[in-house]
Amino acid sequence: MDERVIYRIQRCMAWTGPISVVGYFFFWMVLGHNLPSPPPPGWSGAELVANYYVKYQDHILLGQCVSTFFGLLNMVWCIQLAEQMRSREKGVHVLSQMQFIGGALTAFILSMCGAIWAWCARYAGTPGIDPELVKAVHLIGWYVFNMTYMITTIQYVGAGLFAIFNRKEPAIFPVWVGWIAIAFAMTMFPLTFLPYFLEPSPFALNGWWSYHTIAFSWGVAIWTYTFFMFKDLKRIKLSPTLGVGQAMRN
C-alpha cells in the first residue's frame, strides 16, 4: 500500500478518538437527557418511567441508539494508539496490548449499555411492561456501565506506563501525559461500591464523582493522547523509498 495512503488512514483513525468523545457525549449525555446528571437511582419504577423515559422518550431513544455507534467508534482510536505504542516497544508488546484490549472492551461496554437504555426508552410506558422492569433494566445498564471500570483502568494504566517509561527518542508522549492517564484510572475505583449509594452522594451513579469527574477525565485523557499522536504521525516522512516504520524511527 502507498505510504501516503497509510499516513492518511492513520490520521483518520487518530481523529476517531475526539470525534467519538464529542459524539458520545452529545447523543448519550445531551440528547439522552443525562445532563446535568442522570435520573436519581432512588426513584421508583413509576417515577423513572413518568419523569424520564416517557417525558423525553423520543430524544432518549434516538440519543441512545446513536450512542452505540460512537461508543464502538472509539475502538478505532484504540487500534491506532496501540499501533503507535507497539512500534516503540521492544520484545513483548505488553503495554500496547493492555491498552488495545482494555480499549476494545470499553468501546463494547459503551455501545452495549446504550442499547440497554434504548430498550428502556422504547418500551417504557408500553401497556404490559411493568415500570419496575424498566427500572431493573435501567439499573442493570448503569451497573454494567460503571462496575466494569477495570477494563478501562487496564487500558489507561497500560497507556500511562508506556508514556512514563518508554523514553525512546523521539518520545511519543511526555511523562506528564502518562500520569494523567494513571490518575484517570485511579478515579474509577469507588465505582466498585456503586450499588451501596442510592441516596444523593458523590459516589451515586449520578453523583459529581462517579458521573461528572469520571466522564470529564475520560474526555481529557483521549484528547490529550490524541494531540501527541498527531505530533508523532507528523514525524513520518512520506517518501516512496522510506517505509512508515523506518520513518517513525527517524
In whole angstroms, give the CA distance from residue 99 to residue 175: 17
Sign of CA dihedral 25, 163, 147, 16: positive
- 122 contact partners, CB below 8 Å, separation of at least 6: 61
The lowest-confidence range among 15-29, 45-59, 79-93, 96-110 is 79-93
Mean pLDDT over residues 170-194, rounded?
96
**Residue 156 in this model has a pLDDT that exceeds 60:** yes
What are the residue boundaries of the structural domains of the chain, listed by start? 3-249
Q: What is the pLDDT of the chain when averaged over all its residues?
A: 93
In whole angstroms, give the CA distance from residue 57 to residue 70: 20
Mean pLDDT over residues 7-11, rounded?
93
pLDDT for res 240: 41
Mean pLDDT over residues 57-82, rounded?
98
Give the pTM. 0.90
In whole angstroms, give the CA distance from residue 95 to residue 88: 11
Grid coordinates of 138: 435501567
**Residue 229 in this model has a pLDDT that exceeds 60:** yes
Reported as a single tens digit per residue, the pLDDT across 110-132 is: 999 999 999 999 999 999 999 99
Are 110 and 20 a contacting pair, CB within 8 Å?
no
Reported as a single tens digit per residue, the pLDDT across 196-225 is: 998 899 999 999 999 999 999 999 999 999
